[in-house]
Amino acid sequence: MVNIRDVAKYCGVSAMTVSRALNNSGQISKETKERILKACEELGYRPNFAARSLVTKKTNMIGLIIPDITNQYYSQVSKGVSSYLSLHGYGLLLCNSDRKKEEEKRYLNFLSEGRVDGIIIFPVKPKKEDYEGILKEIPLVMADNYVDGLNANFVGNDNYHGASEIIRHMVKQGFKKIGVILGPTSSSASNERLRAYKDVLAENNIEYLSDIVLESDATFDDGFNLAKVLIEKGVDSIFAINDTVALGVIKYCYLNNINIPYDIGIAGYDNIQQSSMLPVPLTTVDQNGSRMGKVVAETMLNLLTGGAIISKKIILKPQLVIRKSLRES
Amino acid sequence: MVNIRDVAKYCGVSAMTVSRALNNSGQISKETKERILKACEELGYRPNFAARSLVTKKTNMIGLIIPDITNQYYSQVSKGVSSYLSLHGYGLLLCNSDRKKEEEKRYLNFLSEGRVDGIIIFPVKPKKEDYEGILKEIPLVMADNYVDGLNANFVGNDNYHGASEIIRHMVKQGFKKIGVILGPTSSSASNERLRAYKDVLAENNIEYLSDIVLESDATFDDGFNLAKVLIEKGVDSIFAINDTVALGVIKYCYLNNINIPYDIGIAGYDNIQQSSMLPVPLTTVDQNGSRMGKVVAETMLNLLTGGAIISKKIILKPQLVIRKSLRES
DNA sequence: GTGAAAGCGCTAACAA
DNA sequence: TTGTTAGCGCTTTCAC
């Protein structure tokens, strides 16, 4: 592997001059610069990342920890992050926590060896103490699940708003016994949506029944399995914590000849691409993962460059997407 | 940031001894080792990645270049790669080329600064000369699109086999004028499937009509737009290069009240999760992205550890998944 | 079983 | 405008 000194020797200059040519730093005559750049081409010189980052203390890398890359919301987030970073000369170190706390911890450890300049995390069942240590060591942006009392930058979706909108729509469509499939209790997103659910029921004088509000790990299989439970309890509709769960519910209905939306109404959350192409298109809430990705990456880079941070807490407004799974209006 | 010398001083030993304790290398008494490890805990010491990799010339990082992370096949591949790497102490540097050649090149450059120990690439419109240079510098595993004459490790899906199976099934179901939406001409996957298409038609004495075989960039929108073109040409069925394209076709049919499978038969490729949950479930070919991810990562690590490589060219067999979009058997 | 010296490839700071 | 020196934090080599 050819190094900076080989180039220097080849050009009859010092290593420092080559470094300057490559980094546009300091004063350097146009001719020598061009000569050096040409030599780098010819010799196939590539600056050594480790050496550079050892001295500059910068990696131009950002770590992204997400629960599940095969979930479309997160893949959109990843794409948004990736595009924004790439545009600004940064690389992405992707960590798929698989919704496991231990994996998340392992990755946090892995990243904290100085592999990245900052960490963006979409945490699973977050607790304050999990992130207090790392927060002192490396810039951190948290997303989706707010951790109370943690002085970290946060970008969230307005879950209360999104859920209120869709539940209100459900009530307006005439549904009265609305079953819910939540995410884990430690998920603030899930809790906010539950709060909205309760408030909208109260607004409409509908009794809250805790036995038709179920907790889950927010997977497709959970949707499939819990649909059975809820339907046996006589709900007239189901609000799923995300579209993937809703797809599980829909699969159950499909296999059991339960008509959507007349036997049962279904509402999702996320607006994944396929939601619009179902037998009965899914009414859902669009969180715009790609926008989230961009914003979270932008926040990170602002943090790194010390640029003005408008707010330590950014809340994005999701949008209700009305389709046919809650009957026609 | 606390470094190895701080730990050494704290323990009253040399930096070297600390290094040994951390790496299980060389001889070291059990007591000192434990004492040092405990001190590392206490001081919150984290080994510096850059310094370590500067001397060892290892990063424990693998770069993955894929066309589009929001495509489910690639997100499954990514998950497969990620899990396997994580299991073996490696990290994943994800590069989303966005199906753009220039992005791919930029990433290749970025990675070749010694940021990773090896590169796994799912190339877009690959040409031999694009990879000859990089191949000399860093271990490379190519996937999906074979590049003729390039002496690189390759993992592919048997596209000829997969396409033959599904086209044969189409013919058996009575379809005679089968329109095709291909990927780019430079994609060997696409070309192999086209070859299978031609061979199966010939086998069955069906004339090959080049005007119902269209090229595309393999996106959802391409499926939607080209469906119109093909249907106006009077095809009785469409074989889409992937499920995403097929979903585009299905959306077109849905919006135009064209009945699947009676007005038109649809076949996809990839078996993404949602294919089974469509109004009319999609007959497709399962490439098992997660298995592909695992195999490609395994090949990479074998390459790095110099372990026996069974073959430089691994071909995985995909599986025909029969559902209802080509009528019931 | 442990330590001292050297150096990985680069850039910051200062000197010329 | 260019060069010299030093050192980033670690491991390799060799000596004890």
* A232-287 per-position pLDDT tens digit: 999 999 999 999 899 899 989 977 989 999 999 999 999 988 888 777 889 999 99
Per the CB < 8 Å rule, is A59 touching B76? no
Q: Specify the 3-state DSSP secondary structure of B46.
A: coil
> What φ, ψ does residue B321 adopt, rounded to 5°?
-115, 105
CA distances from A38 to A12, A31, A34, B106, B196 (A): 14, 11, 6, 19, 48
* B212-251 per-position pLDDT tens digit: 999 999 988 899 999 999 999 999 999 999 998 998 999 8
- For residue B47, is the peptide bond before it cis, meaning its omega torsion is within 30 degrees of 0? no
- Considering the entire predicted model, what is its pTM? 0.89
Characterize the bridge pairing of strands B61-66 and B91-96: parallel
Characterize the bridge pairing of strands B284-286 and B319-321: antiparallel
- Cβ–Cβ under 8 Å, residues B56 and B304: no
Give me the residues near strand C, CB below 7 A.
A 1, 3-5, 15-16, 19, 22-23, 25, 45, 47-48, 51-52, 54-56; B 12-17, 20, 26-29, 32-33, 51, 54-55
Q: Residue A274: its chain B contacts at CB < 8 A?
A: 247, 274, 277
Start-to-end CA span in chain B (Å): 67
Q: Which residue of B has its CA nearest to A252?
A: B277
Residue A3 has pLDDT above 90, yes or no: yes
pLDDT at B75: 96
pLDDT at B262: 95
Helices A101-111 and A128-137 cross at an angle (nearest 10°) of 10
B309 CB contact with strand D at below 7 Å = no
- Cβ–Cβ under 8 Å, residues B269 and B284: yes
> What single-letter amino acid sits at A47?
P
- Cβ–Cβ under 8 Å, residues A212 and A230: yes
- Cβ–Cβ under 8 Å, residues A73 and A289: yes
The alpha carbon dihedral of A278, A283, A288, A289 has a sign of negative
The answer, for B247 touching chain A at a CB cutoff of 8 Å, is: yes
Residue B161 has pLDDT above 70, yes or no: yes
Q: Residue A251: its chain B contacts at CB < 8 A?
A: 276-277
Count CA within 13 A, CB hemisphere, residue B88: 20
pLDDT at A123: 94
**Two tokens, residue A67:** 């629960």
> What single-letter amino acid sits at A315?
I
Cβ within 8 Å of residue B233, ≥6 positions away? B179, B211, B212
Q: Point out the residue among B68, B83, B113 whose CB comes nearest to the CB of A49.
A: B113
Domains belonging to chain A, first-starting first, are 4-56 (1.10.260.40), 61-156+289-316 (3.40.50.2300), 159-287 (3.40.50.2300)
CA distance B91 to B81: 10
B25 CB contact with strand D at below 7 Å = yes
Residue with tokens 């595009």: A83
Confidence of residue A310 (pLDDT cuts 50, 70, 90): low
> Strand C: which bases are under 7 Å from protein Cβ?
1-5, 7-13
The nearest CA of chain A is from the CA of B205 a distance in Å of 36
- Cβ–Cβ under 8 Å, residues A243 and A284: yes
The answer, for A216 touching chain B at a CB cutoff of 8 Å, is: no
The answer, for B114 touching chain A at a CB cutoff of 8 Å, is: yes
Q: Count of A–B CB contacts within 8 Å?
A: 146
CA distance B2 to B9: 11
pLDDT at A321: 97
Beta-bridge partner residues of B265: B237
* A175-214 per-position pLDDT tens digit: 999 999 999 997 788 999 999 999 999 999 999 999 999 9
Tell me which of B68, B69, B245, B271 to substitute to probe the interface with A (most A C-beta atoms closer than 10 Å): B69
- Chain B, residues 254-283, CB within 8 A of chain A, namely 254, 273-274, 276-279
Confidence of residue A299 (pLDDT cuts 50, 70, 90): very high
Q: Which residue of B has its CA nearest to A89?
A: B110
CA distance B110 to A100: 31
Which helix (H) or strand (E) segment holds residue A120: the answer is: strand A118-121
Cite the beta strand spans of B182-223 per DSSP E.
213-214
Q: Residue A96: its chain B contacts at CB < 8 A?
A: 78-79, 82-83, 86
Residue A126 has pLDDT above 90, yes or no: no
Q: Nearest nucleotide to B11 by CA–C1' distance?
A: C2
Confidence of residue B146 (pLDDT cuts 50, 70, 90): confident
